[in-house]
Amino acid sequence: MSEPKIREELAALRDAALEDLLATSDADLRGEAIEDGDDIKAVAASLKASMREAAAGALRERLALSKARMRSSSPMSAKGVVRPAVDRIKAVVSDLMQRDPRVGFAFRDGKKQTEGDWQTIYDDLLAMGLIEPEDDGA
Protein backbone atom coordinates (compact mmCIF):
# COMPACT_ATOMS: atom_id res chain seq x y z
CA MET A 1 0.00 0.00 0.00
CA SER A 2 1.35 3.45 -0.91
CA GLU A 3 2.16 6.15 1.63
CA PRO A 4 -0.64 8.51 0.46
CA LYS A 5 -3.16 5.65 0.63
CA ILE A 6 -2.11 4.82 4.20
CA ARG A 7 -2.45 8.47 5.24
CA GLU A 8 -5.88 8.62 3.62
CA GLU A 9 -7.06 5.56 5.54
CA LEU A 10 -5.64 6.85 8.83
CA ALA A 11 -7.37 10.19 8.30
CA ALA A 12 -10.65 8.39 7.59
CA LEU A 13 -10.27 6.29 10.76
CA ARG A 14 -9.48 9.39 12.81
CA ASP A 15 -12.53 11.18 11.41
CA ALA A 16 -14.77 8.20 12.16
CA ALA A 17 -13.43 7.94 15.71
CA LEU A 18 -14.03 11.64 16.30
CA GLU A 19 -17.58 11.39 14.92
CA ASP A 20 -18.24 8.45 17.23
CA LEU A 21 -16.82 10.34 20.20
CA LEU A 22 -18.90 13.44 19.47
CA ALA A 23 -22.04 11.31 19.10
CA THR A 24 -21.49 9.67 22.52
CA SER A 25 -23.20 11.35 25.47
CA ASP A 26 -21.24 12.56 28.49
CA ALA A 27 -22.98 9.99 30.67
CA ASP A 28 -21.96 7.17 28.31
CA LEU A 29 -18.36 8.41 28.21
CA ARG A 30 -18.28 8.56 32.02
CA GLY A 31 -19.73 5.06 32.22
CA GLU A 32 -17.14 3.68 29.78
CA ALA A 33 -14.31 5.31 31.70
CA ILE A 34 -15.54 3.87 35.00
CA GLU A 35 -15.91 0.41 33.41
CA ASP A 36 -12.31 0.67 32.21
CA GLY A 37 -11.20 1.58 35.74
CA ASP A 38 -10.14 5.11 34.83
CA ASP A 39 -10.07 7.84 37.47
CA ILE A 40 -12.26 10.47 35.82
CA LYS A 41 -10.84 13.35 37.86
CA ALA A 42 -7.28 12.32 37.00
CA VAL A 43 -8.14 12.00 33.31
CA ALA A 44 -9.79 15.44 33.36
CA ALA A 45 -6.81 17.00 35.15
CA SER A 46 -4.40 15.41 32.69
CA LEU A 47 -6.43 16.62 29.72
CA LYS A 48 -6.66 20.11 31.20
CA ALA A 49 -2.88 20.22 31.74
CA SER A 50 -2.24 18.98 28.20
CA MET A 51 -4.53 21.59 26.72
CA ARG A 52 -2.92 24.38 28.76
CA GLU A 53 0.55 23.27 27.70
CA ALA A 54 -0.53 23.13 24.06
CA ALA A 55 -2.00 26.63 24.31
CA ALA A 56 1.10 27.95 26.09
CA GLY A 57 3.33 26.35 23.46
CA ALA A 58 1.34 27.98 20.67
CA LEU A 59 1.59 31.35 22.41
CA ARG A 60 5.36 30.93 22.91
CA GLU A 61 5.73 30.11 19.22
CA ARG A 62 3.70 33.18 18.21
CA LEU A 63 5.79 35.36 20.54
CA ALA A 64 9.04 34.03 19.07
CA LEU A 65 7.78 34.67 15.53
CA SER A 66 6.67 38.18 16.48
CA LYS A 67 10.03 38.96 18.08
CA ALA A 68 11.87 37.69 15.01
CA ARG A 69 9.64 39.77 12.74
CA MET A 70 10.20 42.86 14.90
CA ARG A 71 13.97 42.37 14.89
CA SER A 72 14.07 41.97 11.13
CA SER A 73 12.00 45.12 10.56
CA SER A 74 13.85 47.23 13.12
CA PRO A 75 15.55 50.35 11.80
CA MET A 76 18.66 49.15 13.61
CA SER A 77 18.79 46.10 11.35
CA ALA A 78 19.50 48.28 8.31
CA LYS A 79 23.11 48.15 7.24
CA GLY A 80 25.22 51.11 8.21
CA VAL A 81 22.97 52.30 11.07
CA VAL A 82 24.84 52.54 14.34
CA ARG A 83 23.33 53.72 17.60
CA PRO A 84 24.81 56.89 19.04
CA ALA A 85 26.51 56.83 22.43
CA VAL A 86 24.18 56.39 25.41
CA ASP A 87 24.70 60.01 26.53
CA ARG A 88 23.58 61.18 23.07
CA ILE A 89 20.57 58.82 23.19
CA LYS A 90 19.57 60.37 26.54
CA ALA A 91 19.83 63.85 25.02
CA VAL A 92 17.76 62.85 21.96
CA VAL A 93 15.06 61.26 24.14
CA SER A 94 14.98 64.26 26.52
CA ASP A 95 14.70 66.65 23.57
CA LEU A 96 11.84 64.63 22.10
CA MET A 97 9.99 64.60 25.43
CA GLN A 98 10.28 68.41 25.64
CA ARG A 99 9.11 68.90 22.03
CA ASP A 100 6.23 66.43 22.11
CA PRO A 101 4.09 66.34 25.27
CA ARG A 102 2.52 63.05 24.14
CA VAL A 103 5.86 61.28 24.62
CA GLY A 104 6.58 60.11 28.14
CA PHE A 105 8.08 57.17 29.91
CA ALA A 106 7.39 55.31 33.10
CA PHE A 107 10.49 53.59 34.37
CA ARG A 108 10.54 50.55 36.64
CA ASP A 109 10.21 51.68 40.24
CA GLY A 110 11.76 55.03 39.28
CA LYS A 111 15.18 53.39 39.31
CA LYS A 112 18.19 54.30 37.18
CA GLN A 113 18.01 52.94 33.63
CA THR A 114 20.62 50.67 32.15
CA GLU A 115 22.38 51.38 28.86
CA GLY A 116 20.28 48.58 27.37
CA ASP A 117 17.09 50.34 28.50
CA TRP A 118 18.15 53.56 26.75
CA GLN A 119 19.14 51.67 23.61
CA THR A 120 15.78 49.91 23.52
CA ILE A 121 13.98 53.24 23.93
CA TYR A 122 16.03 54.64 21.04
CA ASP A 123 15.22 51.62 18.86
CA ASP A 124 11.51 51.87 19.69
CA LEU A 125 11.38 55.60 18.93
CA LEU A 126 13.10 54.92 15.59
CA ALA A 127 10.60 52.16 14.82
CA MET A 128 7.70 54.51 15.60
CA GLY A 129 9.21 57.19 13.37
CA LEU A 130 9.43 59.72 16.20
CA ILE A 131 13.17 60.24 15.70
CA GLU A 132 15.54 59.91 12.78
CA PRO A 133 18.57 57.58 12.89
CA GLU A 134 21.84 59.16 13.85
CA ASP A 135 25.15 57.71 14.79
CA ASP A 136 28.22 58.87 16.62
CA GLY A 137 30.61 57.67 13.95
CA ALA A 138 31.82 54.80 16.13
Residues 59 and 91 placed together within one structural domain of the fold: no
Statement: residue 81 has pLDDT above 70: no
Query: Can you give the pLDDT at residue 136?
Result: 47
Query: Can you give the pLDDT at residue 132?
Result: 84
User: Is the pTM value of this prediction over 0.85?
Assistant: no
Average pLDDT of the chain to the nearest whole number: 84
Residues 123 and 88 placed together within one structural domain of the fold: yes
Residues 24 and 9 placed together within one structural domain of the fold: yes
| Total structural domains within the chain | 2
Q: Could you tell me the pLDDT band of residue 100, with boundaries at 50, 70 and 90?
A: confident
The closest of 112, 103, 107 to 130, measured between CA atoms, is: 103
- Structural domain boundaries, residue 8: 3-72
Statement: residue 110 has pLDDT above 80: no
Query: Can you give the pLDDT at residue 52?
Result: 95
